[in-house]
């Protein structure tokens, strides 16, 4: 049998695990945007191990335990079908909540040789859970809330608002009504501000128009594509409407109705990492920090004041977009402000940043610093991993750092086909300074090299 690092014939499998609201693709919008293109460029001359890229399609807002079980079944199915062989090695790349899914998966797999069970897939085919564990070679964390995030506490406390947004989107899909976006644009949270010009609005419009078979014309293939996109989007929103338990797993403090790896105490984290040693699992962590659109008078090491929906001054500050928040959009300012204040405390087991990739981030790092979704200090784990700090918002690192028009294939163009979708990626959280394609390529080249067991070669770090 090959060693954990693999023999010359060993294949490496990179599995991309999505985060909160995660999916592989909805219609033509991809969660991890532009990764396949970078992978193909890097993989052309890759030696000595063949490397395979996989996209995992998870439930959007189910509990971490449910999502981890789904990931375990996904890996077992790939093994049962011979896609992942006995000597192959797996590197799991988790963005945001996806990193917690990976941690939960490793906790659920056997911790010693005598503790094993079978995973049943494809009509009763059995795959040893220990066999899955043996193949795990590495984990890459991207913007993972290892201790939770304040924005989850904020969403948890505003259940009615969240249900209203999801219900309105489901109604729009059922009626194929793009006009609903006018209501979103004028302020679904009470008219306090508008989303005009935000890429988030463009993403919503694209998703709804793509799912409208009334706009598909007479082409049967386009009608089928529209209906498929509608069914995918309807199922996605139904999952969110009926199972939103992940929010309990992302808060900075555990609730009675659930506990995730984000809520492990010191001793539980120690036991968790012990399970990573037999055989050893390599780790690489990327922590993202966004630009500071607001100035807080909070003492160093303390959170910012909590955002209250009833405070008109807070909404005026978010809507203005001037001063420190110039060049950012309202989506980023709203999310950043909700994430800055809350109950999260500085984690006592936070690791140290090993290096910075790209532009220098704000110094010193404060408790309220975040990437629009996750507090940066919550990403600094585990201690013994290489933690890389990147100035980026939460979606930049997975390829949604610019508004990019959809490119049709030559066959589609030759057939005179068009697409109701205009864009394939969005800068849904417009932070500043702008994240660029050079940093994006450097990060993912490092990830590919790490997955292949190679040292970093092409990064431009400071």
The model's pLDDT over 149-191, given as tens digits with 9 standing for 90+, comes to 999 999 988 888 788 777 777 776 676 544 444 554 444 444 4
Lowest-pLDDT choice from 224-233, 268-277, 351-360, 451-460? 451-460
pLDDT tens per residue, range 342-367: 999 999 999 999 999 999 998 899 99
Q: Identify the burial level of 296 via C-beta atoms within 10 angstroms of its C-beta, where 0-12 means exposed, 13-18 middle and 19 or more buried.
A: middle
Q: Identify the burial level of 324 via C-beta atoms within 10 angstroms of its C-beta, where 0-12 means exposed, 13-18 middle and 19 or more buried.
A: middle
CB 75 within 8 A of CB 84: yes
Q: How confident is the model at residue 25 (pLDDT cuts 50, 70, 90)?
A: low
Whether 164 maps to a domain, the answer reads yes
In this prediction, residue 188 carries a pLDDT of 43
Whether 159 maps to a domain, the answer reads yes
Whether 106 maps to a domain, the answer reads no
Q: Residues 6 or more apart from 359 whose CB is under 8 A from it?
A: 391, 433, 439
Q: Mapping DSSP to helix (H, G, I), strand (E, B) and coil, where does residue 313 land?
A: helix
CB 251 within 8 A of CB 374: no
Peptide bond into 105 cis (omega under 30): no
Whether 207 maps to a domain, the answer reads yes
Whether 191 maps to a domain, the answer reads yes
The DSSP line for 174-228 is HHT-TTHHHHHHHHTTTSS---TT-HHHHHHHHHHHHT-GGGSTT-HHHHHHHHH
Q: Residues 6 or more apart from 398 whose CB is under 8 A from it?
A: 31, 32, 33, 35, 95, 142
d(CA 105, CA 146): 14
Structure tokens at 189: 């949270």
Model confidence at 386: pLDDT above 70? yes
Model confidence at 220: pLDDT above 80? yes
- Residue numbers of the domain that contains 164: 154-246
Q: How confident is the model at residue 28 (pLDDT cuts 50, 70, 90)?
A: low
Whether 297 maps to a domain, the answer reads no
Residue 25 neighbours by CB distance under 10 Å: 14
Residue labelled with tokens 């699992």: 281
Q: Per the structure, how many domains does the chain have?
A: 1
Q: What is the mean pLDDT of the chain?
A: 85
Q: How confident is the model at residue 206 (pLDDT cuts 50, 70, 90)?
A: confident
Model confidence at 394: pLDDT above 60? yes
Whether 241 maps to a domain, the answer reads yes
3-class SS letters over 100-150: HHHHHHHHHCCCCCCCCCEEEECCCEEEEHHHHHHHEEEEEEECCCCCCCH
CB 431 within 8 A of CB 332: yes
Whether 171 maps to a domain, the answer reads yes
């Amino acid at each position: 049998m090959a060693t954990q690092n693999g023999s010359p014939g060993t294949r490496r499998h990179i599995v991309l695990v999505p985060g909160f609201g995660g999916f592989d693709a909805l219609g033509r919008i991809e969660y991890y945007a532009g990764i396949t293109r970078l992978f193909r460029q890097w993989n052309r001359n890759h030696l000595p191990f063949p490397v395979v890229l996989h996209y995992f399609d998870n439930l959007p807002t189910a509990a971490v335990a449910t999502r981890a079980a789904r990931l375990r079944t996904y890996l077992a199915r790939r093994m049962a079908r011979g896609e992942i062989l006995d000597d192959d090695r797996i590197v799991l790349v988790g963005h945001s909540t996806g990193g917690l899914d990976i941690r939960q998966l490793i906790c659920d797999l056997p911790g010693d040789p005598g503790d094993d069970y079978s995973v049943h897939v494809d009509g009763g085919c059995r795959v040893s859970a220990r066999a899955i564990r043996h193949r795990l070679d590495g984990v890459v964390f991207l913007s993972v809330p290892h201790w939770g995030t304040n924005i989850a506490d904020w969403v948890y406390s505003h259940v009615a608002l969240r249900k209203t947004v999801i219900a309105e989107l489901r109604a729009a899909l059922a009626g194929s009504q793009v006009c609903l976006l006018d209501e979103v644009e004028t302020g679904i949270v009470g008219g306090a501000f508008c989303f005009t010009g935000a890429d988030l609005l463009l993403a919503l419009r694209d998703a709804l128009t793509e799912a409208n078979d009334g706009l598909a014309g007479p082409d049967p293939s386009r009608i089928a594509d529209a209906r498929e996109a509608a069914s995918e989007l309807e199922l996605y929103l139904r999952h969110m409407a009926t199972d939103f338990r992940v929010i309990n797993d992302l808060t900075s403090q555990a609730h009675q109705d659930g506990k995730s790896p984000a809520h492990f105490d010191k001793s539980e984290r120690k036991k968790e990492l012990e399970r990573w040693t037999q055989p050893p699992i390599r780790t690489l962590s990327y922590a993202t920090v966004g630009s500071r659109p607001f100035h807080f008078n909070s003492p160093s090491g303390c959170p910012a004041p909590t955002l209250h929906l009833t405070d008109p001054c807070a909404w005026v500050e978010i809507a203005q977009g001037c001063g420190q928040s110039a060049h950012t959009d309202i989506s980023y300012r709203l999310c950043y402000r909700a994430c800055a204040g809350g109950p999260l405390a500085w984690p006592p087991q936070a690791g140290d940043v090993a290096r910075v990739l790209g532009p220098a981030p704000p110094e010193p790092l404060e408790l309220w610093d975040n990437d629009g979704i996750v507090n940066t200090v919550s990403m600094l784990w585990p201690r013994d991993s290489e933690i890389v700090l990147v100035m980026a918002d939460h979606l930049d690192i997975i390829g949604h750092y610019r508004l990019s028009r959809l490119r049709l294939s030559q066959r589609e163009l030759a057939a005179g086909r068009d697409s109701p979708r205009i864009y394939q990626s969005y800068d849904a959280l417009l932070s500043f300074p702008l994240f660029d394609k050079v940093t994006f390529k450097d990060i993912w080249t490092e990830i590919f090299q790490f997955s292949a067991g190679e040292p970093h070669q092409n990064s431009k770090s400071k």
